[in-house]
């Protein structure tokens, strides 16, 4: 285990099993449709790459980057550092995210993407911290609910570090103080 990790919350094996299960559900739910997976970079990159390989359908993949700067203030707006590169109108879109925390980012992202009139719009998030929720977000697929602790690994970072850990773990508090 990495020296900065206090405890492992979700092991590599648990991640593997759960992602496989989500892939199976998505395969069933979107049968006969042309699914567009939209990964939210950078955090969802690892989850996205594993999840897409568990979906037995023809899928198209795309990515976006949102900057949440100022999002938690009154005037906060969602800005796309990188928008999707396809027109999502009429498409079946599944947003793939690493974590729903307060819900602010996903709530706003859903509003913005819904305006473009996709045929359907749903969310798959690897993790969720329900105790922190401020904005309701309907998340059709959730990997794991985690307690109110700062977690890293499997795509999630602290100051751009730890994304490459193969498990999800809690960082030693002295590492982010
Ligand atoms: P929000 O509070 O739901 O808007 O969360 C915004 C983003 O913050 C999430 O998509 C994550 O990328 C990031 N985030 C929230 N909690 C954690 C955490 O515990 N570790 C790493 N990133 C996090
Ligand atoms: Mg994120």
Closest CA to 94 of 115, 66, 130, 119: 119
Distance (Å, rounded) from C-alpha 1 to C-alpha 71? 34
Q: What are the pLDDT tens digits along the chain (177 aa)?
A: 999 999 999 999 999 999 999 999 999 999 999 999 999 999 999 999 999 999 999 999 999 999 766 555 555 578 888 999 999 999 999 999 999 999 999 999 999 999 999 999 999 999 999 999 999 999 999 999 999 999 999 999 999 999 999 999 999 989 877
Q: Give the pLDDT confidence score for residue 70 in this predicted structure.
A: 56
Best mutation site among 72, 77, 78, 101 for ligand 1 pocket (most ligand atoms within 8 Å of CB)? 101
Task: Centre a 10 Å sphere on the Cβ of residue 56 and count the other Cβ atoms it contains.
Answer: 12
Q: Is the peptide bond preceding residue 164 cis, with omega within 30 degrees of 0?
A: no
Per-residue pLDDT of 67-93, as tens digits, reads 766 555 555 578 888 999 999 999 999
Q: Give the pLDDT confidence score for residue 77 in this predicted structure.
A: 77
Catalytic status, residue 4: no
Q: Which ligand is nearest to the CA of 128?
A: 1
CA of 25 to the centre of ligand 1 (A): 25
* Nearest CA, atom 5, ligand 1: 101
CA of 40 to the centre of ligand 2 (A): 6
CA of 25 to the centre of ligand 2 (A): 22
Q: Give the pLDDT confidence score for residue 67 in this predicted structure.
A: 79
Q: Which two tokens stand for residue 35?
A: 């699914």
Q: Distance from CA of residue 163 to its chain's centroid?
A: 13
CB 126 within 8 A of CB 98: yes
Ligand 1 pocket by Cβ (under 6 Å)? 43, 68, 97-106, 150-152, 156
In the 8-state DSSP scheme, what is residue 10?
E
Distance (Å, rounded) from C-alpha 122 to C-alpha 18? 18
Query: What number does the ligand 1 atom closest to the CA of 101 have?
Result: 3
Per-residue pLDDT of 146-170, as tens digits, reads 999 999 999 999 999 999 999 999 9
Cα dihedral 151, 153, 157, 158, rounded to 10, equals 50
């Amino acid at each position: 285990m990495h020296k900065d990790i206090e405890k492992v919350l979700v092991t590599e094996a648990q991640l593997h099993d759960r992602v496989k299960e989500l892939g199976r559900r998505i395969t069933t739910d979107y049968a006969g449709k042309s699914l567009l997976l939209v990964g939210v970079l950078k955090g969802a990159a690892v989850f996205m790459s594993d999840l897409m390989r568990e979906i037995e359908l023809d899928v198209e993949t795309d990515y976006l980057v949102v900057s949440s700067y100022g999002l938690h203030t009154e005037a906060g707006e969602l800005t796309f550092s990188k928008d999707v590169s396809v027109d999502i109108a009429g498409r079946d879109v599944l947003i793939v995210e690493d974590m729903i925390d307060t819900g602010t980012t996903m709530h706003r992202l859903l509003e913005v993407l819904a305006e473009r009139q996709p045929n359907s719009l749903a969310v798959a998030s690897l993790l969720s911290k329900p105790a922190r929720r401020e904005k309701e977000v309907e998340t059709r697929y959730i990997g794991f609910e985690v307690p109110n602790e700062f977690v890293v690994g499997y795509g999630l970072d602290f100051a751009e570090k730890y994304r490459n850990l193969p498990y999800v773990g809690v960082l030693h508090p002295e590492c982010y103080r």
